[in-house]
Amino acid sequence: NAGVTQTPKFQVLKTGQSMTLQCAQDMNHEYMSWYRQDPGMGLRLIHYSVGAGITDQGEVPNGYNVSRSTTEDFPLRLLSAAPSQTSVYFCASSYSGAEANIQYFGAGTRLSVL
């Protein structure tokens, strides 16, 4: 049982490049979400999904796209990377219902955009 797995762990991009951050969970969780963590800012919600085929925006969605074709996977896409997207990205998942509020986090992806 691996929990929440994020790949890659580290990535360096040039401005304007695109990439996809991968997130997979093997706990059959319905709810998945993406956060970014910046120094002194805590974690901020980018996008979330309450089930396959359903996604919605969080607090800071601009510049990011998501899709949820399966229960297990929730990739985060940067279509044209900008230096402001330099951050540590965390994926989280949880069960539905009240337990959905107990979110389990991956180890993170550290992204630098030059």
Q: Are 91 and 34 in contact (CB under 8 A)?
A: yes
Tell me the closest approach of the beta carbon of residue 16 to another protein, in angstroms: 28
Residues forming contacts to another protein in the complex (CB under 8 A) are: 4, 31, 33, 35, 40-45, 48, 50, 58, 90, 92, 94, 98, 100-108
Tell me the closest approach of the beta carbon of residue 40 to another protein, in angstroms: 6
DSSP 21-67: EEEEESS--SEEEEEEEETTTEEEEEEEEEETTEEEE-SS-TTEEE-
Tell me the closest approach of the beta carbon of residue 64 to another protein, in angstroms: 16
